[in-house]
Structure 1
Amino acid sequence: MHLLRTTMVSSTGGYITRRLHVPQEVWSQGGAKLPNLVEKVRVVGILCSALEELQTISSDIFGAGNVSSGMALGIGSIGRKEGEAWISKLDEFLGVCDGVVSNFGKKLSVGEGFVLKKTTWSDKLGRRFDKFTNGKNLDSPALYVQGLKKLFSHAQLLDEHTKAVMSQPVAPAYSGLPMDIRSTADVKLRRSSEFFASVVLTFVIRDLSQLLDKYAKKCEKWLAE
């Protein structure tokens, strides 16, 4: 996700593999008709909101800074109570992920097998959903890409926590937590990664493939002229 975001924000684009360079213009070219754009913009907006809340709780519990680098502030006062509060917020985030798949997965052809049981929106999730359905022109490629930039930036929080809990020795931010709390956090962070792999990256890579194909055809036309 970090590499994909670089291709969107850098004026020269970026490499997402050693052989594939994606120019920034790929994301902003006119005339691209991506499928189910309204649903994708809604999903991205909902996830950004959920990750912003998770970031706030992470800062409250672990302190500001990168938890995997050992630079987070407030280390030393984290125990079971704080760990259980963090687990609770990870549960809430996974509830949002499950809700996204249950409500949008079929339409977007993503997330098969991710949700273990049928999930419905709670009142809180419903309000978050409504926030991204009212008063906006959701059928906008520019709004979609803007949302992806924000989402991929926010998602780095999950990467930081995953590195912190998996590092050997465990990062200072997690060293004061009981083993069972650490193990539970590890499981929930892995499930978050599975969600981004099976849902978000699935439809984003599909869209990128379509955009690259259109961009290549444009380049062929320019060369011919």
Structure 2
Amino acid sequence: MSSARTTDLASGGHHIFEGFLNPPNQPPSPGADDSCSPSSLEPCPEPTILRPFWMLRCIAGVLNQPRGGFLTTRLFVPRQIWMNRSVKFKSVEDKIANCDLLTAALGKLSKVDTYDADAVLEELQGFEEVMERVQAALIKRLGSEVGVQALSALFKDAPVPIDSTGTTAETREAKPNKSYLSSWRKLRGKNSSSGVTIPLNSSRTDKEVANMASVPMTSFVPIDKRTAHRQTLSKEATTFEGPHKEYMNSVSRLCEAAQVLDQVARQVEDPGLKHSSPTHIGLELSTRHAAEFFGFYICRFVLGDVTLLMDKYVKRSTEWVIA
């Protein structure tokens, strides 16, 4: 009996029992063949300004790794989900066009010397105009699927703390958040960052943001790890196949291009440079705007499409098992 099972395993008859996943938060064992295995899940940075760019790296891992990647320690997304021809994405042509527009604009930003803060700020302000155009286009095509609208539905099962006055935390934070999103540009001139003042002691800190138990957190991500990740993206950029290959390629290239914003955001978060000059304050405002844009618009519609694909994949997989 054991010899027959061994023969079946060798021929691939019982491939469903084969395991190829390394632990999501640990590197592969030394000497192990991990050429097709997904990379370990990168810990999520604690500063909220860096989290959207971390999520883009996770999405890129799902797209570029031959077998998929982890979004959390409990959620593995196989690359096979992209082979489903029955799934029709909403406004996919517009998504591709806007992703390519952002990638081209980020390509110009990546050519600027990162040590020249004034030049980076000037180019970043130009990129904000592109973001506003893309934001308007996505809202027109996708409606409440992007932006800050309907976000409460994503956390409807989360407990809402109520203080002694009967006011929820969501209600207390609604006005400051809306004020920031609508008036951040008013804090500085259109073509200059002079005269910018922001409070040094903000009442809202990153520690107040709830962390997910299924996502490892870190206060520091090594630079060499991000460099290796970008090399992987470049290497796998032309291997997309299937009915959604144009969409996959467009999103993957945007995830790679957006890492230049991650580099600027890390410089902004440097305690030695924070609020050191009007230029750095302008960089912080622009970078936070970019982080919110990629978090509320790009990540939202991409993760929405991944959710749709996963639902179809799980449903079909269940049918195969029952059959």
* Partner Cα separation in structure 2 for residue 215 and residue 155 of structure 1: 29
Residue 150 (1) aligns with residue 253 (2) = yes
Q: Any conservation in 2 of the 1:111–1:198 contact (CA below 8 Å)?
A: yes
Partner of 1:209, secondary structure, is helix
Aligned mates of 1:115, 1:39 — CA distance in 2: 25
Matched residues in 2 for 1:91 and 1:28: separation?
Answer: 39
Question: 1:182: which partner in 2?
Answer: 280
Could you tell me how far apart the structure 1 residues matched to 2:298 and 2:83 are? 20
Look up the equivalent residue of 2:122 and give its one-letter code.
S
* Aligned 8 A contact 1:91 1:188 in 2: yes
- Of 65, 82, 90 in structure 2, the residue corresponding to residue 10 of structure 1 is 65
Larger Rg: 2
Partner of 2:130: 96
Distance apart, 1:169 and its partner CA: 3.4
Q: In the alignment, what sits opposite 1:119?
A: none
Letter in structure 1 aligned against 2:282: T
Q: Which runs of 5+ in 1 are unaligned?
A: 63-77, 117-139
Alignment partners' CA distance in 2, 1:196 and 1:189: 11
Which is further off, 89-98 or 25-34?
Answer: 25-34
| Other-structure match for 1:168 | 271
**Aligned runs of 1:16-165 on 2, under 5 Å?**
16-57=71-112, 61-62=113-114, 82-109=116-143, 110-111=146-147, 141-165=244-268
Match of 1:202 in 2: 300
CA spacing shift, 1:115–1:169, aligned 2, 3 Å: closer
Give SS of 2:90's match: coil
| SS of residue matched to 1:111 | coil
Question: 1:137 aligns to what?
Answer: none
Shift of 1:105: 1.5
In terms of fraction of residues, the more helix-rich structure is: 1
Percent of pairs with identical residues: 24
d(CA) in 2 for partners of 1:23, 1:221: 17
Please say if residues 102 and 115 of structure 1, whose CA atoms lie closer than 8 Å, have aligned partners that are also in contact: no
1:213 partner SS: helix
CA distance in 2, matches of 1:115, 1:35: 28
- Relative to structure 1, is the Cα distance of residues 115 and 53 closer, same or farther in structure 2, using a 3 angstrom cutoff? farther
| Counterpart residue number, 1:135 | none
Q: Secondary structure at the match of 1:16?
A: strand
AA partner of residue 91 (structure 1): Q
Give ranges in structure 2 of 5+ residues lacking alignment. Answer: 1-55, 149-177, 184-242
Q: Report Cα offsets for 1:198-217 as digits up to 9, x if no partner.
A: 11111111111100001111
Corresponding residue pairs, total: 177
Secondary structure of 1:46's aligned partner = helix
What letter corresponds to residue 41 of structure 1 in structure 2? I
Distance across 1 between alignment mates of 2:306 and 2:73 = 17
Q: Secondary structure of 1:105's match?
A: helix
Residue deviations 1:121-171 (CA, integer Å, cap 9, x gap): xxxxxxxxxxxxxxxxxxx6220111111111111111111012212334x
Indicate if the aligned counterparts of 1:37 and 1:141 stay in contact, CA closer than 8 A: no
Partner Cα distance (1:115, 1:33) in 2: 34
Q: Aligned Cα RMSD in Å?
A: 2.3
